[in-house]
Every structure is written in C-alpha cells, then in structure tokens.
Amino acid sequence: MSGASAVPATAAPAAASAPPTADRWYPLRRLAEALLAPLLALVAAAALFSVFLLFLGQSPLEFVELVWRGAFGSWFSIQNTVQRAAPLLLTALCVALPGQLGLVIIGGEAAVVLGGLMATVAALPLVNTGPWVVVPVMAIAGAAMGAFWIGISGWLRAKLNVNETIASLVLAYIGLALFNHFVEGVLRDPASLNKPSTYGIGEQNMLDLVPWLEIHPGLPVGILACVAAWILIYRTSLGFASRVTGGNLRAAMLQGLPVTRLILLACALGGACAGLAGAIQVAAEFGRANASLNAGYGYTGILIAFLARFNPLAILPMALLLGGLDAAGGLLQRRMDLPDATILVLQGMIFVMILASDTLYGRIRWFQPRGGA
Amino acid sequence: MSDSLATVLLAMLAGSLRVSTPFLFVSIGECLTEKSGRINLGNEGVLVLGAMVAYATSYETGSPWIGVLAAAFAGLLLGALHGAVCSLARVNDVAMGIAIMLAGTGIAFFFGKPYIQPSAPLLPGIPFGWWSGSSQVQNALLVCPLFLLGIAAAIGLHWCFNATRVGLRIRIVGDSQDAALALGLPIDRIRFLATACGSALAGIGGAFLSLYYPGSWNEGLSSGQGLMAVALVVFARWNPIYCIYASLLFGAAGALGPSLQTVGITWGYYLFYAAPYIVTLVVLIITARGGRSLAGMPGQLSIGR
C-alpha cells in the first residue's frame, strides 16, 4: 500500500571532516530529491494499478500500449490530449498559486464555470463587433469573475480565519448552483431544448485552432501562464515573500510581510487563471455557456498541482500526462471494455501515492546538505 | 395560504428526517476522527463507496442489512488507508483526504457500473405516523431505522467521550500530543483506529443514500454531504449530541427547494438547492470569528493551525 516508503534509506556516511564551506552540490541533490520522490510514487501507483488490472484479468501492458496510442500515438491523439490538457494547465495554477502560501484551494471548478458564464454574458452585447473586441473582453470578464470567486475564499481566510479548503469547496457548490440558475433561467436560449444553454457568442467570434499546428488555442495561453507564474514565484520578491509565508506564517508576520494582501493576491491570481480557462473553453469549444463547462477540470487541476508539487513548470508535463490519460479513456473503453471510471481509479492511486511520497523528503541522508553549509 | 405553508413545513420535516441521516452518520464519524486530532475529507469518497457497496451487496444477497454491514466494512478499509498513510511523517491530512475522496469515488464508479440498472431490496421504514389519518403525515413520519441507529450512535459516542477510558484517551491524543507522549499513549494507533471507525460510520451514511433515500445507486448520488459534514462538525463544536441537531438543520435546508416545489414555487429551484451550502458557509464564518481558540476544538487539529 505504501510501497514508496519501503525504499531503503541509502545512508551515506556523513562528511564529518568536510571543510566549513557551503555544500556546492546541495542544490543539485535537492533537485534530484524533488524528482525522485514523485517518480517513485508514480512507479508505485503504476505497480498498484497493474495489480488491480491483473486482478480483473486484464493486461497492464495492453493498458499502457492503448494509453500511449490514445494519448500520444498520432497527431490526432496529441491534438486530443492537448485539448484536454489546456484548461488543466490553468486550473492547476488555481491550486498551485495559493499553494505557495500553504493554502489548499479546491474550489477551482466554480471559477471555471462562472468564468465561462461571465465571459459569455460579456460577449453577448458585443456579438456584432468582431472577434478582436469580443475575445479580449471575454478573457478579461472570465478572469475577473474567477478572481472574484476564489478571492472570496482568500478574503474569508485572511480576514475571518475561515478554513480556505472547506470554504472554497462550499463556494464551489454555491457557484454551480448560481451557474445552473442563470443558464436554466434568465440567460437560457429557448432554442436549447435538451441541453440548457445560454445564447451563443457567434461562430465568427470563436477562437480558431492554433494555425499550422492545429491545436487547442488554450495551450499557448496555459504555457505562458505557467511560465509567468514560475517567474512570479521564483524570481520576484513577491514570490519570495509568498514562499516565506507558506513556510512559516509566524516568521512572515514577524518580518512584517503583508500576509493578508499576499493571500488575497495569490487567490485572485489563481482564480483568474481558472476563470480564464472557462472563458477559453467557451470561446474555443462550446460557443456558449452550458453544462459542458462543468467537466471536472477544476478537480483534476488539484491533482496536477499536487503532482507538480506546486511548481508551475512541473505542471506542464503533469497536465499533459493526465490530459493524455483522459484522452485515452475512449479507446480503453472500446478495446478493453473498461468503464470510464478506470481513469478515476488510476488518478486516485496516483494521488494517494504522491501524497504518501511526501514522507520521503528529508529521510534519505544523501540528499541532505553536508559540511558547514 | 396557511394550507400551503403547512404543506411546505410538513414536506420540510419529512425531508429533514430523510436528508439528515447521511449528514448524521458522516458527522459523528468525522467527529470521532477529529477528536483524535486528525481531519478526514475522504469521508466524501467513503460515502459514495458505502452507497455502492451497500446497494451491490443488498442486490446480490437479497438482504439490505448485510448491505449496511458491507458498507461499514468498506468505509473501515478506506478509513484505514487514510489513517495509515497520514501516520507517516510530513503527510498532509487535508490533501490526503482529497486523494481518498478521488480514490473512493473512482472505485465506487468502477465497480458500481453494473448496478445502476437493477433494483435491490431497500431498507424498510418504521411508520411513526400510524396515529394520523393524513397520508402526507404518515409519509413524513416513515422513519428509517438507520436514523434511530444514528441517534443511538451519537449518544453512545457522547457517552464514550465523557465517561470511558477509551474516550478520554482519544481526547488526550487529539488535544495535546505532548500530554499523550508523556502518558505513553500509542498516538498513531489511536488516531488510526479513530479514523477507520469514523469512516465505517460514514460508510453506513452511504448505505442510507442507496438503500433508503433516494434509494437507488447512481453516480450523482452524493452531492458533497461528506465534505459538508466537516463544516457541520465545526458547527456542532465537536459534540456528537449537537451533531444530531446540526444534521437536522442541514437536512431541513436541503429539503427547502423540493418542499417549495410541492406547492408550485419553482422559481429559483437551483438557488434553494444551494441553501445547505450557504448555511455551511455562514456557520463557518460565525464559528471562525472567535479566532484560534474555538471552544471544544481538538488542539492538534491541522485546520486550527
């Protein structure tokens, strides 16, 4: 069950006689440790899932082969993977940015749907002005709505000391109820019978696929957002202050860091990313707001952020991995007769293992600083 | 007008008695876990898994009561997983709960697929409304035995916390790790057992969902009751008896929308659907106002920080 923790601690002899200089290789070993632990967790989850498949009389090798084929095997499947990964990049940031401050925000789903709804509402009066007006307005409206919605959780945390995890989740349900109320009420296009939807933003205003590559337009936006977030976190004093706060709240307060403002900012930025994801989904895929927005991107984003240990650059491969698993779901269903919940089981196993692997940090001596560092 | 008001109130009472039972079981389970100083958001997954296992077992064996037992056992296993992994150093119990939620839901959906169609034998209700001629009243007072079992469990847990050695140990471990260490209590083992038993109770709550009300298994069965129970425990100040009242209140809030629908008020159906969540949020805000030293809060709880 906790296979990852059974790794023998390779206790290297402590360099007792080391000169009192800084340990030059420590940053590299720290990086290796940060890579090793999630890798071991992924291996352990894969092993566990293989046992699960064998128990069902299915072949793990066939599973891997089908996932590879369904996710990355052809340009078509890569397009499919990217289409699913693009919103995940942004929703993972909704967890990773507040995560720098030690906050666990799990309400990104509501920011996605409300962001998509607000983007649609903002676009409706402008339908005839052309995409160069509509698309930026949608992006701003979606991001602002997301920032507001996650910002509420941050405000409750910073000002009233309400636990942000539960608050954001409860707000997610409230946000979904609001979304349904509007989509099935005032904003409903009477022509949408089976699937209640708002009025459309107009074919001419929708985002095209990225030219030449023919991939989802959310991908470049998501990559830019992840790189920007990485710079913000690791290369600015604002990011440093956030990481200090996440490491030790009291020390940060003692230093006079603006903890309240940092919390509000991180939550608002994270929410803006998730809201933008909703706006992009509407602008690029649906053309209107409806229940398709509520596809669990917010929840998968949580898993990706934890897999990436809240590092925005690590979010890129992890989002592709999970987007790929999702994209392969249909193929798995057809070829191996596995229900779509199979991916959910695998995700659950990965998540449990990744969190369990947190216990490895600091356990293996070889990775620790030596000498007079 | 007063007639329709009576209808709404009666429907809310009926709804409250029904909707509150899963809240009751998950909240006393969560209360037990939190008293030992750990939080388990995974009870949402336990609820869904419990519902599936109960329904499947009831269908296969023909006895809903075996289904209830099986749900409790499934909850016990999932809670044991949470308890075991959380006792490793540096593992964040809040995040782990989300992982358990995902895993439990995934397993339930995976194995539950074949049971969406067939109908399993359900739990019988106890007719407390026999004295009334009105079929509405009779219907409202048809109480599930699990509801009574839940109240008994809450009272039993309250007694356990306040009058037994086991309860005292759980409270010590939850309130002060230092004191527990000084007394030589097996901290990890106590927390592990409290988490597993708490999840077993939550599993019974899931059995209620699939075997009594709404009384079928499908993938949208739980609407976050397992997570709302965490807020409910805060509201109940970690007191199992107050958990009963809090569950009834949440149940009534959940029954608001459907009750209004019975008298023809359909406007804002989805907004009324959000009522229990709004209650949860208000409760969180009110109880958090006092700052860190919340009365009754176990000292080692990570959400207290």
pLDDT digits (tens, 9 = 90+) for A317-332: 999 999 999 899 888 8
Q: Are B32 and B79 in contact (CB under 8 A)?
A: no
Is the ipTM reported for this complex over the cut 0.85? yes
What length does chain B have? 305
Residue B263 has pLDDT above 90, yes or no: no
Alpha carbon distance B209, B112 (integer Å):
14
Residue where the block lists tokens 């693009």: A86
State the DSSP H helix or E strand holding residue B111, giving kind and residue range, or none if neither.
helix B93-112
> From the candidates B41, B96, B109, B110, which should be mutated to test the interface with A, based on the most A CB atoms within 10 A?
B110
Q: What is the mean pLDDT of residues B133-156?
A: 88
CATH number 1.10.3470 given to B2-124+143-288:
yes
Residue B127 pairs in a beta bridge with B142
Chain A residues 88-107 within an 8 A CB cutoff of chain B:
104, 106
d(CA B157, CA B25): 12
B231 vs A contacts (CB less than 8 Å):
166, 170
Encoded tokens for A118:
């607000």
How confident is the model at residue A336, as a pLDDT?
87
Q: CB within 8 A of A354, min separation 6: which ones?
A: A38, A41, A42, A45, A306, A307, B99
Rounded to an integer, the average pLDDT of A354-359 is: 89
Residue A13 burial by CB count (10 A; 0-12/13-18/19+): exposed, middle or buried? Answer: exposed
Contact across the interface for B85 and A352, Cβ inside 8 Å? yes
For residue A12, pLDDT beyond 50: no
d(CA A114, CA A109): 9
The DSSP code for B126 is E
Q: Is the pLDDT of residue A286 over 70?
A: yes
* Inter-chain touch A356–B91, beta carbons under 8 Å: yes
Closest CA to A156 of B277, B281, B294, B41: B281
Q: Is B86 helix (H, G, I), strand (E, B) or coil?
A: helix
**Using an 8 Å Cβ cutoff, are A138 and A283 in contact?**
yes
User: What is the per-residue pLDDT for B51?
Assistant: 96
Residues 107..146 of A with a Cβ closer than 8 Å to B: which?
Answer: none
pLDDT for the residue numbered B112: 93
Query: In chain B, what residues touch A165 (CB-CB under 8 Å)?
Result: 41, 94, 303
The predicted structure's pLDDT at residue B4: 80
Mean pLDDT, residues B104-125: 91
Residue B219 confidence (pLDDT): 87
Residues of B in contact with A249 (CB under 8 A): 305
Domains in chain A: ranges and CATH: 44-367 (1.10.3470)
Question: Hey, are the CB atoms on B288 and A348 less than 8 Å from each other?
Answer: no
**pTM of the complete model beyond 0.90:** no
- Are A217 and A208 contacting, i.e. CB atoms less than 8 angstroms apart? yes
Q: Taking all residues of chain B, what is their mean pLDDT, rounded to a whole number?
A: 88
Judge whether B265 and B22 are in contact, CB under 8 Å.
no
B278/A104 CB distance under 8 A = no
Strand, coil or helix: B129: coil
Mutate to test the interface with B, among A161, A164, A307, A309 (most CBs of B within 10 A): A161
pLDDT at A187: 85
Look at A41 and B136; give whichever has higher pLDDT: A41
Q: How far apart are CA B157 and CA B164, in angstroms?
A: 10
Q: Does A181 touch chain B (CB under 8 A)?
A: yes
Chain A environment of B41 (Cβ under 8 Å) = 165
pLDDT (0 to 100) of residue B289? 65
What is the radius of gyration, based on Cα positions, of chain A? 22
A205 to chain B, minimum CA–CA distance in Å? 30
Residues in contact with B287: Cβ distance below 8 Å, sequence separation at least 6, in sequence order: B234, B235, B237, B294
Determine contact: A348 vs chain B, CB below 8 A. Answer: yes
Axis-axis angle for helices A108-123, A131-160 (nearest 10): 140
C-alpha distances out from residue A264 to A22, A55, A93, A155, Å: 37, 48, 15, 6
C-alpha distance from residue A327 to each of A59, A81, A318, B20, B29 (Å) = 19, 5, 14, 39, 37
Contact call for A348 and B107, based on CB within 8 A: yes
| Among the ranges given (B87-101, B206-220, B249-263), the one the predictor scored with the smallest mean pLDDT | B249-263
- The pLDDT score that the predictor gives to residue A148 is 98
Minimal CA separation from A353 to chain B, in Å: 9
Note the pLDDT of residue B295. Answer: 64
User: Is A9 touching B (CB cutoff 8 A)?
Assistant: no
Q: pLDDT by residue (tens digit) across A208-247?
A: 887 777 788 999 999 999 999 999 999 999 999 999 999 8
Under 8 Å CB-to-CB from A19, ≥6 apart: which residues? A371, A372
pLDDT of B303 reads: 65
Name the residue with higher pLDDT: B78 or A368. Answer: B78
Interatomic CA distance for residues B203 and B50, integer angstroms = 4
User: What is d(CA B122, CA B65) in angstroms, rounded to the nearest whole number?
Assistant: 9
Mutate to test the interface with B, among A299, A309, A344 (most CBs of B within 10 A): A344
Distance CA A22, CA B196 (A): 46
Asked if A359 and B103 come within 8 Å (Cβ–Cβ), the reply is: no
* Residue B91: per-residue pLDDT: 87
Span B172-195, pLDDT tens digits: 999 999 999 999 999 999 999 999
Which of A117-131, A149-163, A279-293, B216-230 shows the lowest per-residue confidence on average (mean pLDDT)? Answer: B216-230
User: pLDDT confidence of A103, banded at 50, 70, 90?
Assistant: very high
Give the list of residues 6+ apart from residue B283 with CB closer than 8 angstroms, or none: B231, B232, B234, B235
Residues of A in contact with B302 (CB under 8 A): none
Residue to substitute from B27, B41, B88, B105, interface A, most A β-carbons within 10 A = B88
Residue B109: closest CA among B219, B15, B11: B219
Single out the residue of B41, B30, B43, B37 nearest to residue B74, CA to CA: B43
| Chain A environment of B100 (Cβ under 8 Å) | 348, 352
